[in-house]
Amino acid sequence: MSMNVSPAGYEPLLDIAFAHPIRLIASALGPPPADVIDRARAANVKVAALAGTTAHAVKHAEAGADIIVAQGSEAGGHTGEVGTMVLVPEVVDAVSPVPVLAAGGIASGRHMAAAMALGAAGIWTGSVWLTTAEAETEPVVKQKFLAATSSDTVRSRSITGKPARMLRTPWTDEWEREDSPKPLPMPLQPLLVGAALNRINRSATTPGSGAHELATYFVGQVVGSINTVRPADRVVLQIVEEFIDTLTALSGHLDV
């Protein structure tokens, strides 16, 4: 695994992205660089930026991001410490009129209704796709996700060097131990563990093997509410249907 966190690393990836008819490009782990924003503007592509704190969201807006993704701590992948419920309205107020998408722990229509109630213009999701029929998630990890509860994730620096939420397994437990060495900072940790993680994933298909136990991947707390494999289009429809049902039910509170 390598981290494309410098222009030399990310520019070839941008070349590929901009060779396609894309509408949006998203930046995380820092404000979108000026050259990326210029390139996006020239190609009529919107720029989104992920923020885990209100201060980061303000920096992204000042850098020229068109859309801010306010991502709470519940989220899978790199994530901060502030929960979605607290973060979203704070960010909405701080960057208005820039539109804010709520992220972190959103996988259902009820979650979406809550996010819209907090002032979000829409939702941004990650974990909910990892157990879909189309997902390229390692089969072993997919099964672990389906069985996991919302208490089975942990923010760990063990894969990238920065705190990222992932499924808790003996891999993360070993890195958390008092007497274990601390993970290296990004981008050194991926260089240290990348080959080992690849070997673990290759060998994890053997039930009962050490690799089977160690295998993990980025996922958010909402993994606990996802217990079946669904096609991706079904996930979208269920979110929309439950969103409509929820708004209808909520409007009933206004009856006197």
- The three-class DSSP label of residue 188 is helix
Q: Which is nearer to ligand FMN, 15 or 182 (CB)?
A: 15
DSSP conformational letter for 158: T
Pick from 32, 36, 56, 71: which binds ligand FMN (CB under 6 A)? 71
Question: Does residue 74 bind ligand FMN (CB under 6 A)?
Answer: yes
Pick from 14, 17, 26, 63: which binds ligand FMN (CB under 6 A)? 26
Q: Give, as ranges, the residues between 155 and 194 that touch ligand FMN (CB under 6 A).
A: none
Question: Does residue 50 bind ligand FMN (CB under 6 A)?
Answer: yes
Q: Give, as ranges, the residues between 92 and 121 that touch ligand FMN (CB under 6 A).
A: 103-106
Closest Cα to residue 181, out of 189, 211, 165, 77?
189
Q: What is the 3-state secondary structure (H, E, C) of 90-156?
A: HHHHHHCCCCEEEECCCCCHHHHHHHHHCCCCEEECCHHHCCCCCCCCCHHHHHHHHHCCCCCEEEE
Sheet holding 100-103, edge to edge: 24-27, 46-51, 67-71, 100-103, 122-124
DSSP conformational letter for 62: H
Q: Identity (one letter) of the amino acid at 187?
A: P
Shortest CB 204 distance to ligand FMN, Å: 16
Question: Does residue 219 bind ligand FMN (CB under 6 A)?
Answer: yes
Question: Does residue 77 bind ligand FMN (CB under 6 A)?
Answer: yes
Q: Which is nearer to ligand FMN, 27 or 246 (CB)?
A: 27
Q: Which is nearer to ligand FMN, 24 or 192 (CB)?
A: 24
- Which span (87-95, 171-179, 212-220, 241-249) binds ligand FMN, by CB under 6 A? 212-220
Sheet holding 77-78, edge to edge: 77-78, 164-167, 153-156
**Binding footprint of ligand FMN on the chain (CB under 6 A):** 26, 28, 50, 71, 74-77, 103-106, 124-128, 218-220, 222
